[in-house]
């Protein structure tokens, strides 16, 4: 397996250097191994964070990233210079073995390729790199959803007014806390308001997907609370931004994890991935 993985990495690097193109086809992609190849020590410290974003994106799309499948999704990050300007080339490539038409022979090919260049600025490198990676993963997710109707088929139809009932969320903190203690689970508190458009996106794009809902409820009792009604402990009202997701230890009522805003969904999904891997 180690030799196989090294061969895949070598092929990916070779195709990058040749500026290869791809078919941009994502139908039937149900698994891949996420990897990050960074050429330069200044990028290596971000490898784990980028990989976590990739795993969270895969969880959102219900794509398996375990078992070392013979398909890889790779971020390849390299430096380049044009005159006095130093830039960063970021490529997102999906590489896999495919059969040639009319033959049983398999060849390694790129079935998705996206590239982006940013200027290398040491002060803003982390933020610029994170923005570029998230933008490219979002583009990949959009293409995947367009090509595969799989996600829409495994997502419940929900409205904000009935979200708690549709998704079997508690809507009373004390009741949810008692239930979590009884079941030996943590609380997952979804802080929302009736007029928050980003809350609607979190409800419709993330929380209502069945495979994500199952992971949440495996280790948490979810409760949906309206921030404006103020019917919750004071420690849940310190952040006045919605949506906010809190993970609360039911025994101590201490907040162990906080995810603020829709943009934090990748960190939340990464958290779910790690919790269910235990």
Whether pLDDT at 15 is above 60: no
Helix (H, G, I), strand (E, B) or coil at 251: coil
**Per-residue pLDDT at 16:** 43
pLDDT in tens, 113-140: 999 999 888 778 888 898 999 999 999 9
Least confident of 1-10, 35-44, 67-76, 200-209: 1-10
Evaluated on CA atoms 206, 209, 215, 217, the torsion sign reads positive
Least confident of 12-16, 105-109, 163-167: 12-16
Q: What is the mean pLDDT of residues 13-34?
A: 65
**Per-residue pLDDT at 24:** 54
**Per-residue pLDDT at 109:** 83
- Report the mean per-residue pLDDT for the chain: 86
Distance CA(209)–CA(22), nearest Å, equals: 30
Helix axes 210-219, 265-277, angle to 10 degrees: 60
Q: What DSSP letter does each residue of 213-260 carry, written as one string?
A: HHHHHHHEEEEEEEGGG--S-GGGSS---SSEEEEE-TTT--EEEEEE
> What structural domains does the chain harbor?
2-151 (no CATH), 160-277 (3.40.30.10)
In degrees rounded to 5, what are phi and psi of residue 8?
Answer: -65, -40
Q: How far is CA 259 from the centre of its chain?
A: 13
Distance CA(49)–CA(61), nearest Å, equals: 19
**Per-residue pLDDT at 65:** 92
Element (DSSP H or E) covering residue 51: helix 47-60
Q: Residue ranges of the alpha helices (H) in 76-124?
A: none
Whether pLDDT at 154 is above 70: no
In degrees rounded to 5, what are phi and psi of residue 85?
Answer: -90, 130
**Per-residue pLDDT at 119:** 87
Strands 71-82 and 33-38: parallel
State the residue for tokens 């078919």. 23
């Amino acid at each position: 397996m180690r030799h196989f993985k090294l061969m895949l990495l070598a092929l990916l690097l070779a195709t990058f250097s040749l500026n290869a193109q791809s078919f941009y086809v994502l139908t039937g992609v149900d698994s891949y191994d996420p990897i990050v190849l960074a050429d330069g020590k200044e990028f290596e410290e971000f490898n784990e964070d980028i990989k976590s974003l990739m795993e969270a994106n895969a969880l959102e799309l219900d794509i398996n990233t375990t078992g070392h499948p013979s398909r890889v999704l790779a971020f390849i990050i390299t430096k380049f210079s044009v005159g006095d300007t130093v830039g960063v080339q970021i490529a997102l490539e999906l590489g896999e073995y495919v059969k040639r038409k009319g033959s049983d022979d398999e060849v390694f090919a790129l079935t998705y390729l996206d590239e982006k260049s940013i200027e290398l600025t040491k002060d803003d490198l982390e933020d610029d790199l994170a923005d570029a990676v998230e933008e490219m993963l979002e583009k990949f997710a959009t293409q995947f959803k367009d090509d595969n109707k799989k996600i829409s088929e495994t997502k419940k139809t929900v409205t904000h007014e009935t979200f708690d009932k549709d998704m079997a969320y508690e809507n009373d903190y004390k009741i949810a806390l008692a239930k979590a203690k009884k079941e030996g689970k943590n609380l997952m508190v979804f802080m929302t308001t009736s007029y928050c458009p980003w809350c609607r996106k979190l409800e419709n794009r993330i929380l209502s997907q069945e495979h994500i809902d199952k992971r949440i409820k495996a280790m948490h009792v979810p409760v949906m609370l309206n921030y404006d009604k103020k019917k919750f402990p004071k420690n849940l009202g310190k952040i006045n931004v919605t949506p906010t997701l809190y993970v609360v230890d039911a025994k101590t009522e201490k907040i162990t994890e906080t995810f603020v805003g829709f943009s934090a969904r990748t960190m939340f999904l990464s958290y779910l991935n790690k919790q269910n891997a235990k």
